[in-house]
Chains A and B, each alone.
Chain A
Amino acid sequence: MTDKKNKRRRITPGRAMVSTVMLFFFLAFFLLFLKDFNWQSLMLALAVPVIVLFGSVGISKLFPADTLLLSLTNFLCALGVLVLYRLSPERGLTQAVNYGIGVAAMIGCTLLIRYMPSFRFVNWAFMLGSVALLALPLVIGTEKNGANSWISFGGRSFQPSEIVKLALLISLAHMLSKRKVIVPMGFAAVCVLILAVQNDFGTALLYFGTALVLGYAATGSVLLVGAGAGGAAAAVVLGNMIIPQKFARAMSRVNVWLNPWQDVQGAGYQIVQGLIAMANGGLWGVGLGAGNATVIPEHYNDFIFAVIVNEFGMIFGLIVVAMYALIMIRGIMIARNARGVFHALLATGCAAMLALQVFVIIGGNIKLIPLTGITLPFISYGGTSLVSSLCIIGLMQGVAARNAAGVNEDRELAMQGGGWR
């Protein structure tokens, strides 16, 4: 990077990873091709490594971006395409298309953060729009898996909460960086309430956790965290009194979590089949294409982690967890290099939101916490989820790009003999 004349390629961790990842996906799709000689598999065997190459190295050629972050993200996205394609080719192909859209959206978000001077004028629009979008399913929504948080639009359905995530992150970071606390926390509380009313407890938990983490990062106040947790507890108690039947539903989930084996064929079926799928995989997995994880309800969505462990093994599953951890740590590093409070908080929020989402859904899969239906970022089937997760990475990349640009500015200033601004 320092000497542009030096064309000899150095092997950086990012580069080494990209080539390994390309090889992995070529071999994996080729294996699927050998199974049924479907030309689509062969096409994907060539196309996916190329997308990975573009998504990881190509983008960093366009503007200074974090190659390691990109290659990790791309690996996970491509893994999602692979696993979904193996489970059902149509879903895999749809996911591949969404992956392409997501990469474009990610670039858009990067550029937005890189060049947008301030969000002062759009902040209120973001907040009002968020609440309106979130509340929309209550008016024209359709129900899916018990959660009334979906909107059908031209034959396709999506969850507004996935898009609102981005606005929430930007708005919270913006207001908290201006030393406001009441308004952003109130905004987050309204969002969480709307989601809880829609029975989308997983997303509500995610929003709640992210808001608390961001509030803590901005203020350093344990009191705030305590007040947030206390408020949530009070809301649960109050809600239990007003609408008990709804909370009975939530409690039944907790009971299933405590002992899913009590009702193996009924309420506990999904989680039990998920655990069995993981046990079938063991440490090394049954092999790509050899598992039967399709018996799990929502295997392509909430339980995609169980499918991965089933076919690739627990060790691979833990590596996937480690990759998410690396993405989170990378995000925090970007935040700590940021040159303003807004950008620091934004990158922290992105990292925290992804990390919490991973924890909530994988924790639910392995029965560490009660299961709530949310997607595994980058991997689960679903256009909105994939695009919004990639957008979150885009926001992080935008901060990273700003950091790099800032360093260059300093250097130029120093060369001109200028001091610190």
Chain B
Amino acid sequence: MPVPAAARQLIRYLPVLPAVLLLLVFLAGPVFWAFNASFTNAGLTGRSARDPSWVGLDNYQRLLADPVFPLSLLLTVMFVAGSAVLGQNLLGLVLALLMRRARPAVSAVVGTTVVAAWVLPEIVAAFAAYAYFSGDGTLNQLLRVLGLGGQDWLYAFPMMAIMLANVWRGTAFSMLVYRAALNDVPAEVTEAAQMDGAHGWQRLAFITLPMIRGSITTNLMLVTLQTLAVFTLVWVMTAGGPANASTTLPVLAYLEAFKFGDIGYGTAVASVLILIGAAFGLVYIRLLKDSRS
């Protein structure tokens, strides 16, 4: 061999280089920049923008003292638990299960509608949701028809409206994952259970769900991570208001950095969010590794 094995290995992997460079510069770079900047008083404009100075843990101490941060954390947890883990995940599963029993034409039409809300650009979906929940929007029109009093949902229950909007927007993903998973469950297995006298619910709980366990975990992790990062929906519907009542962590980071010009504090919030995402990511990869070995 004229070329040593190690060098050959290196040359073989040369094509990976562009991707690795991009990921280092534009993904790893900002993450490290964030952790670094969160220890400074970097500002958007003025002296602190040109020449930020090291302030140690000041920003993190401020986070703990700031009443908005715990509120924001709580709202984010509510948002993820309510609209992703419960809302999208369960509704997606229910839709996928119903579609197996319904007429093909019905399931095709409903499937297309659900997917449409997901494929639309996020800003368009956010406008539609905004109009739907606003004072004279469709929801109140419906309630009036039913003889119920309306509200301005975006002011009275902003978080509720955003959570419902996120369920509307994102359920398609869970539905598609579960449809694919259910199609992989061999028909013989459920038929055998049926022969043995298992009822619908029993078949679901003891046969079907355990068989798609892997997809359930994967889906839960992915919808959690997607929902954790939602910004546009909140920004268009309420911009975090009224009075921080819907300021989830991505919105808080944006507001602090760009509206109040405090990049250092904003990146401290962002760093917390990155750490939460990273923790979920590690759990997800652990689960995936376990399921493969």
Q: Judge: A and B partners, yes or no.
A: no
